[in-house]
Amino acid sequence: MRIRHLFLSFVFLVTVSLLSGCAGPASDSPERCYKDGQEALAAENFAEAAAAFEKAASFEDADRLLQYSCAWQALENADFSAAADGFRSLGSFKDCPLMLSYCLAREQEALAQTAFASDDADQAVPACAEAISGYTAISLFRDTDTRASDCRNLLYTKSTDWMNRGLYAQAAAGFDALGGWQDSAGLAKYCRASLLLAQNSRVEAAALFSEIPDVLDSAAQAENARAQAYEEAVSLRDHGDPLAAVDAFRALGDYRDAPQQAESTTVLLIRSLLAKGSYAESLEKLSRLTDLSVFPAA
């Protein structure tokens, strides 16, 4: 009796085992491979997921999940162009639209970093700005906010470095690209004013420095630029170019006694020409010096 009971128990266990084996998919079946792929994808093991989905052949959406996994692999390998192409080809599948934007931003960020390393502002600034814009457009997705912040800090740091090295055009472009972040707008103006000063456009530089009196040493720079422009006007007057001197004094507006200097220089110029009998030249000068109120009525 005991032997018969043991035999029946053994038969029962074998039957259950066989039934269990039939109920589930085989280890190499498309269904099993598809499930393995999903598990690998969830764990972000993209190479393993791609291999599993490839074995799953045409089971359900395995073909698209294979493309999706391959695109992720490309992203992990920093092949941003290939990754973008992969996500783009999948249209609205899963989070592909977001991933496409993410890859394009990563591509611009990588381009900016390479250009910054070689001090190529013409390429670095627009690439970094594009990366920031791309990350901001999909804020809160994955690590976009952190990457956007890192790009801003990098661009700000490099722009400050260019400014300190006297590369004002590059620095101004960099600060402008930051779109008013922190004090970038004021620093952009400071760089443009410094560039004008380097080009000897002192009056224009002073005007721009005056718009940002609290940025760095702008107030002092504005005063120094006007003082130099005034001395240049005096030098022009004293060294035989009174017409240019009048223009220079007038450009200074109400700085010091520039208006009075412009008037007195105009009078001296016309009187000098008339004394020489240079009536035609006097008329020409008068046509340029339109403010005739300095002359007494006849």
For the chain, give the mean pLDDT.
87
Q: What is the pLDDT of residues 251-277, one digit of tens each?
A: 999 999 999 999 898 888 777 767 766
Q: What is the pLDDT of residues 44-56, one digit of tens each?
A: 999 999 999 999 9
**Which pLDDT score is estimated for 242?**
85
Comparing CA positions, the residue from 117, 120, 182 lying closest to residue 156 is 182
Average pLDDT on 147-164 reads 98
**Amino acid, single-letter form, for residue 114:** T
Q: Is the pLDDT of residue 7 over 70?
A: no
* Secondary structure in 3-state letters for 226-275: HHHHHHHHHHHHHCCCHHHHHHHHHHCCCCCCHHHHHHHHHHHHHHHHHH
Query: What are the tokens at 182?
Result: 């922190």
**Which pLDDT score is estimated for 24?**
46
Q: What is the pLDDT of residues 216-234, one digit of tens each?
A: 999 999 999 999 999 999 9
> What Å distances lie between residue 204 and 83, 173, 189, 248, CA to CA?
49, 19, 12, 12
**Which pLDDT score is estimated for 272?**
73
Comparing CA positions, the residue from 177, 135, 137 lying closest to residue 156 is 177
Q: Is the pLDDT of residue 12 over 90?
A: no
> Is the pTM higher than 0.85?
no
**Report for 3-12, 54-63, 289-298: range of highest mean pLDDT:** 54-63
| Cβ–Cβ under 8 Å, residues 193 and 221 | yes
Domain boundaries, the chain: 200-298
> What Å distances lie between residue 223 and 93, 154, 205, 245, 256, CA to CA?
62, 33, 10, 19, 11
**Which pLDDT score is estimated for 20?**
39
**Amino acid, single-letter form, for residue 189:** K
